[in-house]
Amino acid sequence: MKFIVYIVPCVILFLIGCAKMTEDELWQKVEQSRASGNTDSTIQMCQAILKGYPEGKNASAALYMIAETYQNGKHDYHAAVNYYNAFVKQYPDLNSTPVAMFITAFIYNNNLQMYDSARIAYQSFIARFPNHELAASAKFEIDNLGKTPDEIIGAKKELAVKTREHSRKK
């Protein structure tokens, strides 16, 4: 209880202090927090940018960084998916949008083992970005949903052996 009584005022003061910062100053804090590995501070600074400067030049990068931080720093994959989806919805035409869509599908498949959701997300990615450099990877992922790397390698070896045997018979 003492922790909550102490931490809540600190967070409030922190956010009030951030409200006085410019967008560039907040972004510098984001970069410092990220460089030091402070995931909570990185997320808080990005949220401060989104709240104080929702149309600012760093807003899209802040939202994307929140998603990345939940994925790679906090390993909270559900939160990461939610933030990547919010990014795709809010910024549908940015160069990083296809990557955000692909990563969402990848997380569903590899981290959450939600294979139906992964399939739908990969198919949505391919339908929207059929010529993107990750489209072939998305197709490969669909073909191998739920398989371990060893199973994928084993299947490829088995296919190679069958191909060689078939070639010899001709």
What pLDDT does 151 receive?
A: 85
Average pLDDT for 77-103: 98
pLDDT over threshold 70, residue 68: yes
pLDDT over threshold 80, residue 18: no
pLDDT over threshold 60, residue 123: yes
What pLDDT does 146 receive?
A: 86
| Band (5; pLDDT cuts 50, 70, 90) | very low
Average pLDDT for 76-100: 98
Q: What share of the chain in percent tops pLDDT 90? A: 73
pLDDT over threshold 80, residue 2: no
In 37-111, alpha helices (H): 39-52, 59-68, 77-90, 97-110
pLDDT over threshold 80, residue 165: no
CB 87, CB 60: distance < 8 Å: yes
What pLDDT does 1 receive?
A: 54
Mean per-residue pLDDT over the chain, rounded = 87
pLDDT over threshold 80, residue 63: yes
The 3-state secondary structure of 26-53 reads HHHHHHHHHHCCCHHHHHHHHHHHHHHC
Q: What is the pTM of this model?
A: 0.79
pLDDT over threshold 60, residue 152: yes
CB 48, CB 18: distance < 8 Å: yes
Average pLDDT for 62-80: 97
Average pLDDT for 33-58: 95
CA distance 36 to 64: 18
Secondary element (H or E) of residue 151: helix 149-169
Average pLDDT for 68-79: 97
CA distance 142 to 100: 17
State how far the alpha carbon of 158 is from the alpha carbons of 110, 144, 146, 161, 165, in Å. Answer: 23, 15, 18, 5, 11
Fill in the DSSP letter of residue 132: S
- In degrees, rounded to 5, the angle at the alpha carbon of residue 91 between the alpha carbons of residues 85 and 94 is 115
Amino acid of residue 121: A
pLDDT over threshold 90, residue 162: no
Fill in the DSSP letter of residue 111: T
